[in-house]
Structure 1
Amino acid sequence: MELLSLDLHPIFRNNRDIDLALREFLFRAARSGAEVAEIIPGKGTGQLKKRVIAFLAQKHIRKLYVRMETDATNSGRVLVYFSRPGAT
Protein backbone atom coordinates (compact mmCIF):
# COMPACT_ATOMS: atom_id res chain seq x y z
CA MET A 1 0.00 0.00 0.00
CA GLU A 2 1.34 3.41 -0.99
CA LEU A 3 1.59 6.01 1.75
CA LEU A 4 0.20 9.39 0.75
CA SER A 5 2.56 12.15 1.79
CA LEU A 6 2.61 15.95 1.88
CA ASP A 7 5.93 17.67 2.54
CA LEU A 8 5.44 21.29 3.64
CA HIS A 9 9.14 22.22 3.52
CA PRO A 10 8.95 23.93 0.10
CA ILE A 11 6.07 26.24 1.12
CA PHE A 12 6.64 26.77 4.84
CA ARG A 13 6.78 30.57 4.52
CA ASN A 14 3.50 31.10 2.68
CA ASN A 15 0.43 30.81 4.93
CA ARG A 16 -2.06 30.74 2.07
CA ASP A 17 -0.15 28.00 0.23
CA ILE A 18 0.08 25.94 3.42
CA ASP A 19 -3.68 26.06 4.02
CA LEU A 20 -4.45 25.30 0.38
CA ALA A 21 -1.97 22.40 0.24
CA LEU A 22 -3.34 20.90 3.47
CA ARG A 23 -6.95 21.22 2.35
CA GLU A 24 -6.33 19.71 -1.10
CA PHE A 25 -4.19 16.92 0.32
CA LEU A 26 -6.70 15.89 2.99
CA PHE A 27 -9.65 15.86 0.60
CA ARG A 28 -7.63 13.84 -1.93
CA ALA A 29 -6.47 11.39 0.75
CA ALA A 30 -10.00 10.95 2.11
CA ARG A 31 -11.38 10.27 -1.39
CA SER A 32 -8.59 7.84 -2.24
CA GLY A 33 -9.61 5.30 0.38
CA ALA A 34 -6.17 5.42 2.00
CA GLU A 35 -5.93 4.23 5.58
CA VAL A 36 -3.21 6.66 6.59
CA ALA A 37 -1.50 9.74 5.18
CA GLU A 38 1.52 11.65 6.42
CA ILE A 39 2.09 15.37 6.63
CA ILE A 40 5.69 16.46 7.03
CA PRO A 41 6.00 19.88 8.65
CA GLY A 42 9.55 19.09 9.74
CA LYS A 43 11.07 19.51 13.18
CA GLY A 44 12.42 23.08 13.10
CA THR A 45 10.98 25.36 15.78
CA GLY A 46 7.70 23.44 15.88
CA GLN A 47 5.60 26.39 14.69
CA LEU A 48 4.61 24.77 11.39
CA LYS A 49 3.70 21.53 13.19
CA LYS A 50 1.49 23.51 15.59
CA ARG A 51 -0.15 25.16 12.61
CA VAL A 52 -0.81 21.78 10.96
CA ILE A 53 -2.35 20.39 14.17
CA ALA A 54 -4.54 23.50 14.55
CA PHE A 55 -5.64 23.12 10.93
CA LEU A 56 -6.52 19.46 11.50
CA ALA A 57 -8.50 20.38 14.63
CA GLN A 58 -10.96 22.57 12.71
CA LYS A 59 -14.45 21.11 12.95
CA HIS A 60 -15.07 20.88 9.19
CA ILE A 61 -11.65 19.29 8.59
CA ARG A 62 -11.97 16.91 11.55
CA LYS A 63 -14.90 15.22 9.78
CA LEU A 64 -12.54 13.93 7.08
CA TYR A 65 -10.45 11.64 9.29
CA VAL A 66 -10.72 9.30 12.26
CA ARG A 67 -7.63 10.35 14.24
CA MET A 68 -4.27 12.03 13.93
CA GLU A 69 -1.04 11.66 15.84
CA THR A 70 2.56 12.76 15.83
CA ASP A 71 4.82 9.94 14.71
CA ALA A 72 6.43 8.46 17.83
CA THR A 73 9.75 7.92 16.04
CA ASN A 74 9.83 11.20 14.09
CA SER A 75 8.40 14.34 15.72
CA GLY A 76 8.54 16.16 12.37
CA ARG A 77 5.82 13.95 10.91
CA VAL A 78 2.07 13.97 11.55
CA LEU A 79 0.03 10.88 10.67
CA VAL A 80 -3.64 11.20 9.72
CA TYR A 81 -5.80 8.06 9.84
CA PHE A 82 -8.92 7.59 7.73
CA SER A 83 -11.60 4.96 8.08
CA ARG A 84 -11.41 2.26 5.48
CA PRO A 85 -14.40 1.82 3.17
CA GLY A 86 -16.51 -1.04 4.47
CA ALA A 87 -14.77 -1.10 7.87
CA THR A 88 -16.91 -1.41 10.96
Structure 2
Amino acid sequence: MKLKLDLHDIYNKGRDIDRALNDIMTEAIQKKAKMVEIIPGKGSGQLKKRVLRFLDQKDVKQMYHRVEKDSKNFGRLFVHFKH
Protein backbone atom coordinates (compact mmCIF):
# COMPACT_ATOMS: atom_id res chain seq x y z
CA MET A 1 0.00 0.00 0.00
CA LYS A 2 1.22 3.48 -0.89
CA LEU A 3 -0.17 6.71 0.54
CA LYS A 4 0.17 10.10 -1.13
CA LEU A 5 0.28 13.64 0.28
CA ASP A 6 0.21 16.61 -2.09
CA LEU A 7 1.18 19.86 -0.35
CA HIS A 8 0.46 22.19 -3.29
CA ASP A 9 -2.78 23.50 -1.78
CA ILE A 10 -1.33 24.34 1.65
CA TYR A 11 2.21 25.40 0.73
CA ASN A 12 1.94 28.72 2.61
CA LYS A 13 0.07 27.53 5.72
CA GLY A 14 2.69 26.41 8.26
CA ARG A 15 0.41 24.73 10.81
CA ASP A 16 -1.58 22.95 8.12
CA ILE A 17 1.64 21.57 6.63
CA ASP A 18 2.79 20.14 9.96
CA ARG A 19 -0.68 18.73 10.67
CA ALA A 20 -0.88 17.11 7.22
CA LEU A 21 2.58 15.56 7.64
CA ASN A 22 1.74 14.24 11.11
CA ASP A 23 -1.57 12.84 9.86
CA ILE A 24 -0.05 11.01 6.88
CA MET A 25 2.73 9.49 9.02
CA THR A 26 0.20 8.29 11.59
CA GLU A 27 -2.06 6.90 8.86
CA ALA A 28 0.89 5.07 7.27
CA ILE A 29 1.68 3.35 10.56
CA GLN A 30 -1.95 2.47 11.28
CA LYS A 31 -2.52 1.05 7.81
CA LYS A 32 0.95 -0.52 7.65
CA ALA A 33 1.70 1.29 4.39
CA LYS A 34 5.04 0.44 2.80
CA MET A 35 5.56 3.95 1.44
CA VAL A 36 4.29 7.52 1.58
CA GLU A 37 4.78 9.77 -1.43
CA ILE A 38 5.05 13.42 -0.39
CA ILE A 39 4.76 16.07 -3.09
CA PRO A 40 6.03 19.46 -1.94
CA GLY A 41 6.34 20.60 -5.54
CA LYS A 42 9.33 22.11 -7.29
CA GLY A 43 9.04 25.86 -6.59
CA SER A 44 11.92 27.46 -4.69
CA GLY A 45 12.64 24.32 -2.70
CA GLN A 46 11.67 25.87 0.64
CA LEU A 47 8.69 23.57 1.18
CA LYS A 48 10.80 20.50 0.40
CA LYS A 49 13.39 21.69 2.93
CA ARG A 50 10.63 22.14 5.50
CA VAL A 51 9.36 18.59 4.86
CA LEU A 52 12.90 17.20 5.21
CA ARG A 53 13.37 19.10 8.49
CA PHE A 54 10.07 17.66 9.73
CA LEU A 55 11.16 14.13 8.79
CA ASP A 56 14.52 14.68 10.49
CA GLN A 57 12.96 15.34 13.92
CA LYS A 58 13.96 12.65 16.41
CA ASP A 59 10.40 11.52 17.26
CA VAL A 60 9.36 11.45 13.59
CA LYS A 61 12.53 9.70 12.44
CA GLN A 62 11.66 6.71 14.64
CA MET A 63 8.45 6.15 12.64
CA TYR A 64 10.01 5.33 9.27
CA HIS A 65 12.86 3.38 7.73
CA ARG A 66 14.32 5.79 5.14
CA VAL A 67 13.63 8.81 2.91
CA GLU A 68 14.28 8.72 -0.81
CA LYS A 69 14.49 11.81 -3.01
CA ASP A 70 13.05 11.14 -6.46
CA SER A 71 15.94 11.38 -8.91
CA LYS A 72 13.59 12.07 -11.83
CA ASN A 73 11.32 14.60 -10.10
CA PHE A 74 12.84 17.20 -7.75
CA GLY A 75 9.40 17.96 -6.27
CA ARG A 76 8.73 14.51 -4.83
CA LEU A 77 9.91 12.49 -1.82
CA PHE A 78 9.29 8.89 -0.81
CA VAL A 79 9.20 7.83 2.83
CA HIS A 80 9.69 4.07 3.26
CA PHE A 81 8.41 2.11 6.25
CA LYS A 82 9.25 -1.27 7.79
CA HIS A 83 6.47 -2.70 9.94
Q: Are residues 1:17 and 2:26 paired?
A: no
Q: What is the CA deviation profile of residues 13-34 of structure 1, one whole-angstrom value per residue up to 9, with x for unaligned ones?
A: 1000000000011110122111
> Structure 1 segments of 4 or more deviating over 6 A?
none
Equivalent residues in 2 for 1:1-88, closer than 5 Å: 2-83=1-82, 85=83
Q: What is the CA deviation profile of residues 15-72 of structure 1, one whole-angstrom value per residue up to 9, with x for unaligned ones?
A: 0000000001111012211111100000000000000000000000001100001111
3-state SS, counterpart of residue 36 of structure 2: strand
Q: Take 1:4 and 1:49, find their aligned partners in 2: how far apart are those partners?
A: 18
Task: Note the residue ranges of structure 2 that are not aligned, 5 or more in a row.
Answer: none
Higher alpha-carbon Rg: 1
Q: Take 1:68 and 1:46, find their aligned partners in 2: how far apart are those partners?
A: 17
Aligned residue pairs: how many? 83
Return the letter of the residue paired with 2:54.
F
State TM-score, norm by structure 2. Answer: 0.95
Q: Take 2:31 and 2:71, find their aligned partners in 1: how far apart are those partners?
A: 25
Please, what is the CA RMSD of the aligned residues? 0.9
3-state SS, counterpart of residue 75 of structure 2: coil
